[in-house]
Amino acid sequence: MFTGIVEEVGTIRHIESRAGYQRTTIAAKQVLNGVKIGDSIAIEGACHTVVHFDADTFVIESIAETLQRTTLGDCRVGSRVNLERSLKLGDRLDGHLVAAHVDGVGRVKGRTESPDQIIFEFEVPSELAPYIAEKGSVTVNGISLTVVSVTDRTFSIAAIPHTLKVTTLSEKYPGARVNIEVDMIARYLERLVQSGDGKNKLTEDRIRAMMSVDE
């Protein structure tokens, strides 16, 4: 489990394509503190397992499906990537609960700059749009962000200078592909609505009843 609060930006040092998967070496500093083989690190919002490390790099392996369903297949030597170690029990949750299981790839549709922020508009696959709500949470390339507005196929966020400084978001321009993870609560809510029957089925009336307070 992750929070969407990027710890540092790493740099891809080496990429090796093997039969059925890709082995990637990433230079980093902070996420290497106390790292062990088998630890989980989110790279651009996609959870990976550390299979090797040394003083200033760590190695992850991505299967073909991961490369196809995320932007990691687009990365090249020299690419900068957002990094976050998995959440420890008892840590502060400054972002929101993030599984680092990318739901799909979106694109930057618009970018509007001002002195104190950049407004990004993202276009997402139609199947993901219903899970993104105004004022709700969404993860873009591993960054926990608050949704400002939504349409049928797009949503916008406002990135403050701090976020732009400590992540790769400032490097994204119209046309850039980005990893999207929707709020997992929306996923579970959909499952509750779709499953169950009779008195166990989650309906609007049942939700209202659960929220009501006896006087």
Q: What is the pLDDT of residues 10-45, one digit of tens each?
A: 999 999 998 889 999 999 999 999 999 999 999 999
- pLDDT confidence of residue 168: 97
- Give the list of residues 6+ apart from residue 158 with CB closer than 8 angstroms, or none: 117, 118, 119, 120, 146, 148
The more confident residue out of 55 and 194 is 55
Contact call for residues 108 and 178 (beta carbons, < 8 A):
yes
Give me the domains of the chain, ranges plus CATH numbers: 8-85 (2.40.30.20), 104-188 (2.40.30.20)
Rounded to 10 degrees, what is the CA torsion of 189, 194, 195, 199? 90
**Using 50, 70 and 90 to split pLDDT, how confident is the model at 203?**
low
- Amino acid letter for position 103: D
| End-to-end Cα, the chain, rounded Å | 39
Query: Whole-structure pTM over 0.85, yes or no?
Result: yes
Considering only CA atoms, which of 66, 65, 43, 69 is closest in space to residue 125?
A: 69
Query: Dihedral of CA 51/66/87/192: which sign?
Result: negative
Q: Give yes or no for residue 149 having a pLDDT over 90.
A: yes
Tokens of 21: 């998967």
- pLDDT confidence of residue 20: 86
Contact call for residues 180 and 172 (beta carbons, < 8 A):
no
Q: Give yes or no for residue 96 having a pLDDT over 80.
A: yes
pLDDT in tens, 52-77: 999 999 999 999 999 999 999 999 99
- pLDDT confidence of residue 137: 93
When pLDDT is averaged across residues 165-170 and rounded to a whole number, the result is: 97
In b/e form, how buried is each residue of 65-104, taking b as 16+ CB within 10 angstroms? ebbebbbbeebeeebebbbbbebeeeeeeebbbbebebbb
What is Dmax (Cα atoms) for the chain? 65
The more confident residue out of 90 and 46 is 46
pLDDT in tens, 37-48: 999 999 999 999
Q: How many residues does the chain have?
A: 215
- Amino acid letter for position 143: I
